[in-house]
């Protein structure tokens, strides 16, 4: 290896993360905060593809596509995941603490390895079948299948009825700004979303383990509330990242990493208000109706003025003086404000509960960051709401709305339910 | 003799140009097809990339013409204004009144709202 390659290897590792089932937020947050790792937006910027968690067989082709889009030389690390059969000597890993060092090692020694194969056949995905001079299919300027794919055809427009070509595509299931596993077919007119259909809902997410434990027996309220605050901070960090405010997203993740009961996040509230996150969407963007809000539940419902909270049913919380925070607008801004308000409330509750050593007094039902979780019931998927919500939005608004909503189903993870 | 020297210079120049711009340099091998596919998080596109959509700047051009015409006629008007006096002022007032109808129309069409 030349000294030039060694020097290049000292740079932060560009990693694209393909998240499968049970991709843990904590692992990814730790990775994002690591100075030696740079989580990039697309495989085109990446040298290492990190596959986290199990990938169901129906998404293997999507994963192959991602893998082949990385510029060579590139390598793949399978973290708690089963490698695709094409790999002869895959790099696998299951230990959390070795994740960042392994990625760095793989990157440093990238040039010494045998190059990774291209998994998909190297031939045009849609070969030329055109007839006319410009391959337009020989049917004038419209229609035809010049490169094996049909030409875009005019479609209805939601704004002013000016019908022009609609762009249709499926996005996901490894699209970074969305929940892992979410696969949607979208149709765009310019940058306005016309139609959305959910092809595959996001992978069920396990709430933090302490919430599962709360259904088995009494747990310290301080632990429960800290886990909730951390989860909301992850949500805010994700929204900031989606809005293009990466350094603030990292700052939020750093907050989440060193969260203690009673910490004052007033400073954070200040810079969140000034950073432009709230101004990045117009008021009323992603506004939920009452039924949609109830269907999603959790913070989204409370941000739309529904005082739904399972903590009200717990006498221990009532003794701590818990009251539900609600917003009335029900739009993206309200949801971000709701997260912020609930983080502050949770930290204050955790402080009080830790001082008095209070345990939960209700094991039938628990309020997870995602919503109400009754024993034996799980949390239902609500991704169908996106189909009603997104049409008519501009792309950036749609992205902000998806980032501000947690619609994945909730299922017991490791440890499970009683 | 001069012609020969010129010829040699021309040949050397052509040779160097060919060396710098030889086809193998100008066209580096393309990446394999799967690598060139658009990134959609594992998803695929439905249709060809030849898609036309409206840029919607028509009201904006209308506004530009309204303001620009105004300025174009105001320069010669400013030159003769002192000679003509109040008559020139009245004429320009009428002209601006007509043009401002276009601006009012643009206003109604929400030209001034950035979207």
Q: For position A135, what pLDDT does the model report?
A: 54
H/E run at residue B99: helix B86-108
| Confidence bin at A415 (pLDDT 50/70/90) | very low
Q: For position B55, what pLDDT does the model report?
A: 67
> By C-alpha distance, which of A323, A346, A311 is closest to A226?
A346
The fold of the A209-404 domain, in CATH, is: Cytochrome-c3 Hydrogenase; chain B (1.10.645)
A211: pLDDT strictly greater than 50: yes
Q: For position A9, what pLDDT does the model report?
A: 83
Q: What is the pLDDT of residues A113-125, one digit of tens each?
A: 777 888 998 888 7
Which chain A residues have a beta carbon less than 8 Å from that of B39? 42-44, 69
Nearest CB to A120; choose among B34, B50, B53: B34
A219: pLDDT strictly greater than 90: yes
Alpha carbon of A243 to those of A248, A343, A375, A402, A404: distances in Å? 10, 20, 36, 11, 11
Altogether, the residues listed in chain B come to a count of 115
Q: Do B47 and A173 touch (CB under 8 A)?
A: no
Alpha carbon of B3 to those of A96, A294, B7, B12, B14: distances in Å? 77, 90, 6, 14, 16
Q: Tell whether pTM > 0.90.
A: no
Average pLDDT over residues A59-82: 92
Q: For position A146, what pLDDT does the model report?
A: 66
Average pLDDT over residues A141-164: 74
**B45 vs A: CB within 8 A:** yes
Q: For position A232, what pLDDT does the model report?
A: 95
The residue in chain B having the minimum alpha-carbon distance to the alpha carbon of residue A190 is: B53
A130: pLDDT strictly greater than 80: no
**Across all residues in chain A, what is the average pLDDT?**
88
Q: What is the pLDDT of residues A28-49, one digit of tens each?
A: 899 999 999 999 999 999 999 9
Phi/psi for A35 (5° steps) reads -70, -20
Average pLDDT over residues A272-280: 91
Q: What is the pLDDT of residues A363-383, one digit of tens each?
A: 889 999 999 998 888 889 999
What number of other Cβ atoms are within 10 A of residue B40's Cβ? 20
The fold of the A3-112 domain, in CATH, is: Rossmann fold (3.40.50)
Question: Percentage of residues in chain A with pLDDT exceeding 90?
Answer: 62
SS (H, E, C) B26-69: HCCCCCCHHHHCCCCCCCCECCCCCCCCCCCCHHHHHHHHHHHH
Q: Do B37 and A125 touch (CB under 8 A)?
A: yes
Q: For position A417, what pLDDT does the model report?
A: 47
Cα separation, A224 vs A220, in Å, equals 7
Which chain B residues have a beta carbon less than 8 Å from that of A165? 51-53
Q: For position B63, what pLDDT does the model report?
A: 80
Q: Where is average pLDDT lowest: A146-155, A365-374, A397-406? A: A146-155
* Domain chopping of chain A, boundaries: 3-112, 209-404
Average pLDDT over residues B89-98: 92
B24: pLDDT strictly greater than 90: no
Q: What is the pLDDT of residues A301-322, one digit of tens each?
A: 999 999 999 999 999 999 998 9
Average pLDDT over residues B98-114: 81
């Amino acid at each position: 290896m030349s000294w030039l390659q060694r020097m290049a290897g000292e740079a932060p590792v560009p990693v694209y993360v393909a998240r499968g089932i049970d991709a843990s937020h904590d692992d990814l947050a730790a990775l994002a905060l690591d100075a030696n790792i740079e989580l990039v937006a697309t495989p085109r910027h990446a040298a290492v593809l990190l596959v986290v968690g199990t990938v169901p067989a129906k998404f293997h082709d999507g994963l192959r596509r991602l893998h082949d889009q990385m510029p060579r030389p590139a390598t793949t690390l399978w973290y708690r995941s089963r490698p695709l059969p094409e790999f002869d000597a895959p790099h696998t890993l299951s230990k959390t603490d070795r994740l960042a060092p392994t990625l760095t090692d793989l990157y440093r020694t990238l040039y010494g390895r045998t190059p990774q194969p291209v998994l998909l056949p190297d031939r045009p995905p849609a070969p030329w079948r055109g007839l006319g001079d410009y391959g337009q299919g020989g049917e004038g300027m419209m229609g035809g299948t010049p490169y094996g794919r049909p030409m875009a055809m005019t479609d209805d427009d939601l704004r002013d009825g000016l019908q022009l070509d609609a762009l249709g595509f499926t996005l996901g299931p490894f699209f970074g700004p969305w929940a892992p596993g979410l696969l949607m077919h979208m149709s765009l007119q310019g940058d306005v979303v016309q139609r959305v259909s959910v092809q595959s809902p996001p992978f069920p997410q396990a709430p933090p383990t302490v919430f599962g434990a709360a259904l088995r027996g009494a747990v310290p309220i301080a632990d429960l509330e800290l886990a909730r605050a951390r989860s909301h901070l992850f949500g805010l960090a994700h929204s900031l990242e989606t809005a293009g405010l990466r350094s603030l997203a990292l700052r939020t993740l750093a907050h989440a990493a060193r969260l203690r009961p009673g910490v004052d996040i007033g400073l954070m509230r200040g810079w969140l208000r000034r950073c432009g996150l709230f101004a990045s969407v117009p008021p009323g963007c992603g506004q939920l109706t009452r039924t949609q809000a109830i269907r999603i539940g959790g913070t989204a419902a409370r941000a739309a003025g529904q005082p739904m909270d399972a903590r009200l049913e717990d006498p221990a919380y009532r003794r701590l003086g818990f009251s539900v925070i609600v917003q009335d607008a029900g739009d993206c801004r309200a949801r971000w404000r709701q997260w912020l308000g609930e983080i502050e409330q949770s930290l204050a509750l955790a402080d009080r509960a830790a001082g008095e050593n209070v345990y939960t007094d209700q094991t039938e039902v628990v309020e997870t960051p995602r919503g109400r979780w009754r024993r034996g019931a799980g949390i239902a998927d609500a991704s169908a709401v996106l189909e009603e919500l997104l049409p008519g939005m501009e792309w950036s608004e749609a992205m902000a709305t998806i980032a501000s909503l947690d619609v994945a189903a909730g299922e017991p993870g490791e440890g499970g339910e009683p | 003799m001069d012609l020969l020297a010129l010829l040699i210079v021309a040949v050397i120049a052509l040779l160097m140009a060919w060396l710098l711009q030889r086809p193998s340099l100008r066209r580096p091998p393309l990446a394999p097809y799967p690598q060139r596919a658009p990134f959609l998080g594992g998803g695929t596109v439905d249709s060809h990339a030849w898609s036309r959509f409206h840029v919607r700047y028509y009201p904006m051009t209308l506004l530009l013409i309204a303001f620009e015409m105004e300025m174009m006629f105001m320069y010669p008007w400013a030159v003769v204004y002192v000679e003509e006096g109040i008559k020139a002022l009245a004429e320009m007032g009428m002209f601006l009144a007509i043009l401002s109808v276009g601006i009012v129309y643009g206003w109604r069409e929400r030209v001034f709202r950035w979207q």
